[in-house]
Amino acid sequence: MDALLIAVVVIVIGLIAGKVSENRHLGSLGQREALFKDVQVTSLRQPTAPAAQPVPVLVCGEVVIASDAFKSWASGLRNLFGGEAKNFGRLYQRARREATLRMLAEARRQGYDAVCNVRHISTDIGGNAVRPQNKAAPMATCLAFGTAYKRT
């Protein structure tokens, strides 16, 4: 009975705190993406109209975002019914946007104003090092990398 009560409390905390944290993060992402509107970001394999100097360079950005207790619990229900796991989709979406923003910040810090050949790699490093069987808590990782160059 006690264990059930604690579990319910944890899940409710997860629901509330998770929602707050997600909304705050989405707001922050929107704000910062507006700051980078002048940077041209493409997945094209060659730079468009590049300047000769400075030499293009590889830039990377990465982030690890944890999912909250409610999402982890609800995904267990999803396993019963199937269908699109929108919660985790949003989690990876946030991780991807955050990693891309960090990559753009690094490009701007080094004095470039465009990034081409952008690729994203996502993994889940959830699972406990101490108790490997506990895989219920996904941690979304995204590594974004591309070639930064200066436009003429």
Partner 1 sequence: MRENGFLKEEMNMIVVNTEYVNGYEIVEVKGMVQGNTVRAKHMGRDIAASFKNMIGGELKGYTELLTESRREALSRMLQQAQELGANAVVNVRFTTSAITAGAAELMAYGTAVTVSPKQV
When binding is defined by CB under 8 A, the residue of 71, 101, 112, 114 that contacts partner 1 is 71
When binding is defined by CB under 8 A, the residue of 17, 30, 89, 110 that contacts partner 1 is 17
CA 78 from chain center: how many Å? Answer: 22
Closest CA to 87 of 99, 75, 103: 75
Say how far apart CA 137 and CA 95 lie, in whole Å: 15
Q: What is the DSSP string of 112-145?
A: --EEEEEEEEEEE--S-SSSTT---S-EEEEEEE
Nearer to partner 1, 36 or 51 (CB): 51
Q: Is the dihedral of CA 88, 26, 142, 41 positive or negative?
A: positive
Q: Which stretch binds partner 1 (CB under 8 A): 34-42, 75-83, 119-127?
A: 119-127
Nearer to partner 1, 13 or 82 (CB): 13
Residues contributing to the site for partner 1 (CB under 8 A): 10, 13-14, 17-18, 21-22, 25, 45-47, 50, 52-53, 55-58, 60, 62-69, 71-72, 98, 116-117, 119, 121, 123-130, 132-133, 135, 137, 139, 141, 143, 145-147, 149
